[in-house]
Chains A and B, each alone.
Chain A
Amino acid sequence: MSEPPPSVTTQESPEAPRRPQPMERAGQTGRAVINSIVEGSPAVVTFLAIVAALFLGALLIAFTNDAVLHAWGQFFSNPGNAFAQAWDAVFAAYRAMFDGAIVSPATVAAAFHGGSVGAIFYPISQTLSDATPLILTGLSVAIAFRAGLFNIGAAGQWIGGAIVAGYLGFAVSLPPVIHVIVCLLGGIAGGAVVGWVPGELKARTGAHEVIVTIMLNYVMYNLLSYLLGTPKALQAPGQSNLISPNIAANAQLPHVGGPPPAVDAGFLVALAAAVAVGWLLNRSTIGFQFRTVGANPSAARSAGISVERAWVLVMAIAGALAGLSGASVIQGSAVHAITFNSYGTYGFDGITVALLGRAKPWGVVLAAILFGALHAGGTTMQAATSVPTDISQVIQGLIVLFVAAPPLIRVIFRLRHAQAGSMEAVAKGWNG
């Protein structure tokens, strides 16, 4: 997604001596763009996958709508009405989704008539807020992928981070900025411990990380409920429900850019994490070791890299990122307390985000923003058209399904076959 199409440079390089004329150069660029489209570069495949997923989602919306089904029941007496009803249902749903995720024309019009300008940016800010935890869990899964490990445990690591960050948030009192940072660091540490366990077990005993991370998820779900139901641990005083006290105002992430757009500093933290992961993977020795271990553990071992150490380290880092995601939600602008189900679907969405982003940091950021938009838009859509918000989960799954199989997209859209699979093998089989 974030990569430039490789076919462009290789085609131009042989004929370099003569400086091309402006017109010619424009023609070449144009041809390169067309080539990358017909050959299906990763970016194009991703775009077409989104189109195909939205189309299938549209069919699902249309054919679960009572009015549409009724109109199709009378297809032979009034075929036009059947299509019109289907179109109306889909158009209304997707328009509401667009309004809720990107920009609503109504607020723009209102701004011209003395309404709030900030309201225009509300949907975008909602999208970025929803994207924040997904960026972090996506990075968590992605960095483990790069070292050849499959981290299904982001949900449990998320909880580890949320528990520590939340506890530090309400149990201690510190000055403004320091409190935020202490809580974020606590979240990192909490997640890192939960992530470290499967890495250490894999290194020491060979226990497969997929099993251990899945099991740790359930352990953490129950641990969270236990702590939230224990008055001296996380439960709010005087509560019988599974909920923690609100964290102190000093521990909450500050807003960025005025009250109406609800983006908090968590988004910037997530972007910083993406930069850090990008640096770590591509510019540092440890990152090189991770990638080598991921590409070929035997070769890495022959080259003197400690594969076991890389596994332990990468799982701890993956856990730290997922834990930071937990901290960013608890300290964020929407939630201030931990509940028994506040882990939501962040962990598993992280897997799809990492896959769509091809396990590259900037790919993860873009994929998370796309899914954040689907979440934010889905909520608005459900309120406006009563189409359940679960449709965004279906669309999300379909997008990744299509992206995972570039040959299929090529067949559907009749693209020429260029490189072999453009999705690198990010996950490995059981024998790793």
Chain B
Amino acid sequence: MNSDCEKMKDQIADLVTGILSEAQTQKLQQHLAQCTACRDYARALRNEDIFLTVFVETMETDMTRHQERLLQAIDLSYQSRNNEPLLIWRTIMKSPIIKLAAAAVVIVVVILGLFEFVKTESTSGVVWAEVVRKVGASRGLIVRCTDLSPSNEDDYSITYTSSKYCRKDFYKDGQIIRTCYVDFTASDTATLIDVFHTHKLHVTAKYKKSENGLFLEWRDDWTNPRFLVQRILSAEHSKLGQKTIEGVLCEGIETTDPACFGPLPEQINNLQVEFRLWVSAETGYPVLYESKMSGESEGQMWELEYVMDQFQWDVELGPDIFEPNIPPDYEGVTRPGIVGL
């Protein structure tokens, strides 16, 4: 190896590493064709490159195990926090997959509210007791939900619910970017499969009923907007009169009473709510639900705003729609254990 060869060493390293330009590669190849010492050096570096690649690949195979361990640690750290009720509440209210479930939190209040309501005489065209009965008896439901919160990324979501299953498709620019499938058939847990189409990844997790009694009605009703009616009626509310929405004569009710959520975690301050529900005077089914919430927790202000519309009540939803459809090239992650909400 002469002094020229010493200068070539950098280029050989770049060649083997794949960062040498095409022009330099051609020049170097000419030199390698003539110089045995440099060829040997290049061969040695290539072998080392293979060793390095294999070395990294070996470690990458352990990566999934490490990630699962980390997710377990995250779950443990969540469980050990004192502010678990806050997390539960946040999950209910802020997670895009569980937003519709908020009504189930107030089951006790709902029942009380329902009793109060049933005794109330209605003077308008809509018989609200009949609305409660009809939405409760609805077999399947399809609804569009548009999250207007400042931090939201998707354009809207379409939720399909039956008594045992739920599916939610999140849309962005006309494409489904994420699909959540929830199976409530087990007695004490719900299985959630979250498919992130943008990342070609699906995450499976089992959720349990929380120990403080939340989600008692998960299995049957947790994503069913039928409780929206009860939620509003269970709190201080007022009637909004009539208006026409997309050609349908509707009657509305409104509440700004945070009590409609039932007992709240102490860490939430300044909770403000504004819920409006519009029901078709003809069919007695909800056609529009508008929701605004804001509050302060851990010193940070937050706000949520969403609209539910395009309701299709009492539809027959076949099992196919709830069957997770995961392309074979998607990578899967299973969250170990059972995740507490």
Q: Is the A/B pair a real complex?
A: no
* B interface residues (Cβ-Cβ under 8 A, vs A): none
